[in-house]
Structure 1
């Protein structure tokens, strides 16, 4: 019986010399570049059949231009209801600093309270008084509602103070 000799193909040898950090990073970067190029080609192939014309959202989403329902005021007392309405006005029309009302309809704290008081100066004054009490309780150093309002870059804190003042007025029964 003849004996046959089989040869085993050589296995890849490992690099015995350690690579530097820069060399390893370069190798990983090259491998990632190849993987990203392959992914980009695969994306182009998968999305080639999608039409290029964008969808006009006006055709898809329709909402009334003006709200038909007014939010209900959770407070029965007049000052608390005034302050909550002023907060809602700022949420819908926007908040501003430096003036009572901007051209786009945004208002400051004082402007929102004034318009929601609808000419009732006594109600307006009581609302501003409760708001100042709430501001002084949290910040202490505000001279007036307009000064406090103009201190902020956005309306988050002023609107939060209106909410707190409305709750305080409701607790006082005002």
Structure 2
């Protein structure tokens, strides 16, 4: 028994009209499913061959990770030093920020027994006795605080003591450094 396979749609995109089989020529459901499976197998085989032809020119070779991943010959143990601002107040504030990051932060005093410093304590230590420079730096810090948190902040020490960690005070010192540098102070 030769079962006729369904034909592919014509190039125009229209499906050819199905011939109505005579009453005695009707196929059972199993026969129709077998014919559909055979047609799909043929189409899948043709698609596999077409894929092989289209991708035959692509050659992939394993990649050696040593060629891709490179590391410096001498690893840096410390991050590169930050460029200090050129203006005196901005440079002082940057040094105060670095001191607070390295020595630690404290509240309620200019410094504690472990050497940790508050905002004003870091500025005072880095000013080295230059009270005019210290006052200018504290004024810029207070301006940065009020710009970000509002005019209700009374002073730099009260702002410092209102925090539980040094994260925000250190961030404010960075903002004040940028402000002082932009103002040419």
Q: TM-score, normalised by structure 1?
A: 0.59
Q: How much does 1:71 deviate?
A: 4.0
Partner of 2:35: none
Partner of 1:92: 102
Number of equivalent positions: 108
Partner of 1:157: 168
Given the alignment of the two structures, is residue 120 of structure 1 paired with residue 134 of structure 2, yes or no? no
Q: How does 1:5-154 map to 2 (within 5 A)?
A: 71-140=81-150, 141-154=152-165
- Computing the radius of gyration over CA atoms, which structure comes out larger, 1 or 2? 2
Distance 1:78 1:168 in 2: 12
CA RMSD, 1 decimal: 1.9
Distance 1:74 1:115 in 2: 17
Q: TM-score, normalised by structure 2?
A: 0.55
Distance 1:73 1:152 in 2: 28
Distance 2:176 2:86 in 1: 14
| C-alpha contact (below 8 Å) 1:79/1:123 kept by paired residues | yes
SS in structure 1 at match of 2:124: helix
Quick check: 135-144 or 71-80, which moved more?
71-80
| C-alpha contact (below 8 Å) 1:76/1:170 kept by paired residues | yes
Partner of 2:43: none
| C-alpha contact (below 8 Å) 1:73/1:85 kept by paired residues | no
| C-alpha contact (below 8 Å) 1:73/1:84 kept by paired residues | no
The answer for unaligned runs of 5 or more in structure 2 is: 1-77
Deviations 1:71-113 (Å, cap 9, x if unpaired)?
4543000000000000000000000001111100000000000
- Please list every run of at least 4 consecutive aligned residues from structure 1 whose deviation after the TM superposition is greater than 2 angstroms: 70-74
Distance 2:162 2:81 in 1: 29
Partner of 1:170: 181
